Amino acid sequence: MRFVVSALFLFVLFSHTDAYDPLDPNGNVTIKWDIVSWTPDGYVAVVTMNNFQMYRHIMSPGWTLGWTWAKKEVIWSMNGAQTTEQGDCSKFKGNVPHCCKKTPTVVDLLPGVPYNQQFTNCCKGGVVPAWGQDPQGAVSAFQVSVGSAGTSNKTVKLPKNFTLLGPGPGYTCGPAKVVPSTTFLTPDRRRKTQALMTWNVTCTYSQFLARKNPNCCVSFSSFYNETITPCPTCSCGCQNKNNCVKDSSKILKMKGLNTPRKDNAPLLQCTHHMCPVRVHWHVKLNYKDYWRVKVSITNFNYRMNYTVWSLVVQHPNLNSVTQVFSFDYKPLLPYESISEYPEFFFSVFSRCIIRYHVTMLFGHAYADDTGMFYGMKFYNDLLMEAGPFGNVQSEVLLRKDKDTFTFKQGWAFPRKVYFNGDECMLPPPDTYPFLPNSAHQQYLFSIFTLIATMVFLLLTLC
């Protein structure tokens, strides 16, 4: 009976959490406006964007931030960013504003702009690394001087309707909220100053909003079975005559083929999966106390260099990673990081109810089965465009956990894989390479994997 209740509970819970990322429950991008001075007709604000997502960075060609002014505000000037259009400034004589649009669209500047246009943490072409990958670098900022605005904290009106592209769709931003003013340390670190007023906007990501198809797929192989389990056909779309090029095609010799397009449209190599990225997991070696996996990532898009890419993998044995060759590795511990925040008591509480129900059903729970792999700086943090250099690879040495380790039932393959923050399509469980003589377990196995996928999803919550 308890089993049935727990199963029901989990089912009901899961039919209601769509945009929630169990591997990064607090992940968000926060945009903070600090008013640093009042001017005769408005204010000067420092706008800081923090990428608090563990493993999803804002990649090239970078972020685009938009909002709607509450009144008839204009932007006199900007440092460290610019608007894409000036709009109609015809009613201004002499000194003309930088932008008069009701809904300005702001982009970062490129590296190397003149010094007098720069600002601290600006000018990275809009690329913002993930918090888990580079906490110091996960920030972008600019300064804006606003006119025709309120000139005190009672008369200023907060901008509305924030939109963030990072670089494509996927983010939803909440309303701006006044928060306690930020305090800054002076450069000599001996005095604290305070913003005159501060407001925050929080944006969260949903893969469903970003695209209707996955962006990557996973294939498997092993030393104990010759079968290579390919990516599922049409994982990211189906092939037709016009949407891809064969790797033998003459077009590939044309100059300028790799130049990214304005709309960021990919140029894909023809494959049966039509994914821009494939992740391959090969179970390579078996030692007495250890086992070894080879991971490779292949780029099939001729128009994309992935800079600071990340790969998140969920597998129960990742709690015993012993050595990672030629990638950087960092465990993701959503459960522990949550418990640092007292305001998350409630959600921790509800997670623990989930944990209780999961434990009821399956006996034990994992919290540390997820890790992030990423490239080493200046070595392989660039996944080059499709072609001879369009791949990166690494090997991972894992210590066997005596209680759970097995090559049976596809246990050695990951439960979930994310490339650059988007979940990858896995092959169906009944096609995994099997340990010889375990074919009769296939039926059981597919049920097992179905349940296991659900469980591992849950277990990361608590």
Ligand X SMILES: *[C@@H]1O[C@H](CO)[C@@H](O)[C@H](O)[C@H]1NC(C)=O
Q: Is 120 in the site for ligand X (CB under 6 A)?
A: no
**Of 80-88, 195-203, 318-326, 400-408: span binding ligand X (CB under 6 A):** 195-203
Which of 5, 110 has the CB closer to ligand X? 110
Nearest to 201 by CA among 180, 183, 179, 174: 174
Q: How many CB atoms lie within 10 A of CB 450?
A: 11
Q: Which residues pair with 314 in a beta bridge?
A: 370, 416
Which of 136, 240 has the CB closer to ligand X? 136
Q: Is 305 in the site for ligand X (CB under 6 A)?
A: yes
Q: Which residues pair with 278 in a beta bridge?
A: 217, 298
Look up residue 46 and give its amino acid. V
Phi, psi of 337 (to 5 degrees): -70, -30
Q: Which of 104, 390, 414, 433 binds ligand X (CB under 6 A)?
A: 433
Q: Which of 17, 37, 193, 227 binds ligand X (CB under 6 A)?
A: 227
Q: Is 413 in the site for ligand X (CB under 6 A)?
A: no
In the complex, the smallest distance separating the C-beta of residue 428 from ligand X, rounded to whole angstroms, is 10
Helices (H), 186-275: 207-210
Query: From CA 71, how far away is CA 158, in angstroms rounded?
Result: 9
Q: How many CB atoms lie within 10 A of CB 436?
A: 8
In the complex, the smallest distance separating the C-beta of residue 227 from ligand X, rounded to whole angstroms, is 4
Interacting residues with ligand X between 317 and 376 (CB under 6 A): none
Q: Which of 32, 101, 355, 357 binds ligand X (CB under 6 A)?
A: 32
- How many residues touch ligand X (CB under 6 A)? 33
In the complex, the smallest distance separating the C-beta of residue 436 from ligand X, rounded to whole angstroms, is 4
- Which three-class secondary structure state does DSSP give residue 232? coil
What is the contact mask toward ligand X in residues 198 to 217, using x (rule: CB under 6 A)?
A: --x-x---------------
SS3 content of the chain, % helix, strand, coil (to 5): 20, 35, 50
CB 83 within 8 A of CB 106: yes
CB 432 within 8 A of CB 219: no
Sites of contact with ligand X (CB under 6 A) = 26, 28, 30, 32, 48, 50, 52, 66, 68, 103, 153, 161, 163, 178-179, 197, 200, 202, 225, 227, 258, 260, 303-305, 384-385, 431-434, 436, 439
